[in-house]
A and B are shown apart, each in its own frame.
Chain A
Amino acid sequence: MKQTIRFAFYKSIPVLLGYVFLGFAFGLLLQEAGYSFWWALLSSVIVYAGSIQFVLVDFLSGGTSLPVIAVMTLLINSRHAFYGLSFVEKFRRMKTYPYMVFSLTDETYSLLCSLKTPEGVDEKKAMFFISLFDQLYWIGGSVLGGVLGQLLPFDMTGIDFAMTALFVTIFVDQWREARTHLPAVIGLISSVVCLLIFGGNNFILPSLIITVGLLMALRNRIEGRIEKRPERKAEEA
């Protein structure tokens, strides 16, 4: 058990850096909008989704109507519906099923789908602790941001790049282990094209729909490639 928790903590360190600082930024913004750290705490406990919580700060400072808020939330977070697809079977076999579904953020998803547990580590428990630690980092960061405000003595500008770097390292690992690079290439091209057409705030959903469409259209070809090449052995973390 100790080994599992230590493993989960080690795996979650990149998210620790990213979440504490992003959460801090969220708490700070919310406080500037006139909401104390209790509101940051509440949002991070029950919403727990980075990008929409930043949009939430806008909602709370303006007069956005509830239906518009609902639609925007559904659209911005629609990508989550695709994350669950990789875990339908796995989560179902876990005691912590409801929490795993609730807490599947971008970053937790990326950690879990690249997770390879060494001997002596309980995979399901490791997955649960990674999810739990990630949310605790996010909650901790956002409360700190609300409490400490602008007291930080250093210039932390750019620290949020840790999140981008996390995605990049996982992308590199997946690229190395993939038996076909088609999905990665399709995802990359589709998102760049959609970004240029739809702009930064609206491109995720069309891009994911096009990606899924293309992957389904090319299914025979991709499955053929997967079967032809033996699985590359995953290296120990």
Chain B
Amino acid sequence: MTRERALIMILVVAVCTLITRLIPFVLFGGKRKVPKAVEYLGQILPPAIMATLVVYCLKGADLFSASHGIPEFAAVAVTALLHAWKRNVLLSIAAGTLCYMFLVQAVF
């Protein structure tokens, strides 16, 4: 592939990515008042999106492979329980990640 074509590809991806980020601001970001429904969604969506992102991260966990997704779910459980208990973000993330790395490297 020529370098010019590669450059154009990256630009297309950059522009399309920017479009997805601009949409809500172009629709509601002008002088117009933000509609009540949008305000409601903005307030209520974060927990729903966070749940979606967690599922997105775990999509690679193969329940039918050798590991049955055990490393993923064990590490999520460690992170969530530790966080519900201690409420320390860095501690929860470090413990969950080390648990996951240990499981995928040494056990499965």
* Nearest 9 interchain pairs by C-beta: A187-B48, A84-B24, A187-B51, A200-B59, A73-B16, A158-B101, A164-B57, A165-B96, A161-B100
Chain B's interface size range is 35 or more
Contact with B along A43-74 (1 / 0, CB 8 A): 10011110011001001110110100110011
* Listed A/B pairs (22) with beta-carbon separation below 8 Å: A43-B14, A47-B13, A53-B13, A56-B9, A60-B1, A64-B9, A73-B13, A74-B20, A82-B45, A82-B49, A102-B18, A158-B100, A167-B54, A168-B92, A169-B83, A169-B92, A171-B54, A176-B84, A183-B47, A190-B48, A219-B40, A223-B40
Q: In the bound complex, how far is the Cα of B12 from the Cα of A106, in angstroms? A: 20
* Selected interface stretch from A116-124, A132-140, A205-213: A205-213
Which of A1-9, A87-95, A142-150 makes up part of the contact surface?
A87-95
Interface residues of A (CB under 8 A from B): 13-14, 17, 35, 39, 42-43, 46-49, 52-53, 56, 59-61, 63-64, 66, 69-70, 73-74, 77-89, 91-92, 101-102, 104, 106, 109-110, 113-114, 155-159, 161-176, 178, 181, 183-188, 190-192, 195, 200, 203-204, 207-208, 211-212, 215-216, 219, 222-223, 235
Shortest Cβ distance from B22 into A: residue: A101
A192-B8 Cα distance, complex, nearest whole Å: 36
Out of A69, A109, A157, name the residue touching B105 (CB < 8 Å): A157
Across-interface contacts of A69 in B (CB, < 8 A)? 9, 12-13, 16
Q: Do B24 and A85 have beta carbons less than 8 Å apart?
A: yes
**Across the interface, do A191 and B76 meet the contact criterion of CB distance under 8 Å?**
no
- A187 touches which of B17, B47, B93 (Cβ 8 Å): B47
Q: Decide: A74 near B19, CB < 8 A? Known: A88-B28, A163-B57, A195-B55.
A: yes
Assuming A14-B93, A164-B57, A165-B97, is B24 touching A171 (CB within 8 A)?
no
* Among B16, B58, B93, contact of A74 (Cβ-Cβ < 8 Å): B16
- B-side residues, CB < 8 A to A, are 1, 6, 8-14, 16-25, 28-29, 34, 37-60, 71-72, 75-76, 79-80, 83-84, 87, 89-90, 92-93, 96-97, 100-101, 103-105
Chain A residues with CB below 8 A from B105, complex form? 155, 157-158
Interface pair B40/A66, CB less than 8 Å apart: no
Choose among B37, B38, B80 the residue that contacts A168 (Cβ–Cβ < 8 A). B80
Q: Does the CB pair B47–A81 fall under 8 Å?
A: no
Given A42-B10, A102-B21, A207 and B1 contact (CB-CB distance below 8 Å): no
Q: How far is the CA of A43 from the CA of B9 in the complex (A)?
A: 10
Please measure, in the bound complex, the distance between the C-alpha atom of A156 and the C-alpha atom of B23, giving whole angstroms.
37
A223 to chain B, nearest CB (A): 7
* Beta-carbon contact of B25 and A101 below 8 Å: yes
Contact flag A215-B50 (CB < 8 Å), given A77-B16, A204-B56: no
A52 to B12, CA, bound (A): 12
Q: Please determine whether B16 and A14 come into contact, CB atoms closer than 8 angstroms.
A: no
| B24 CB to nearest A CB, Å | 3
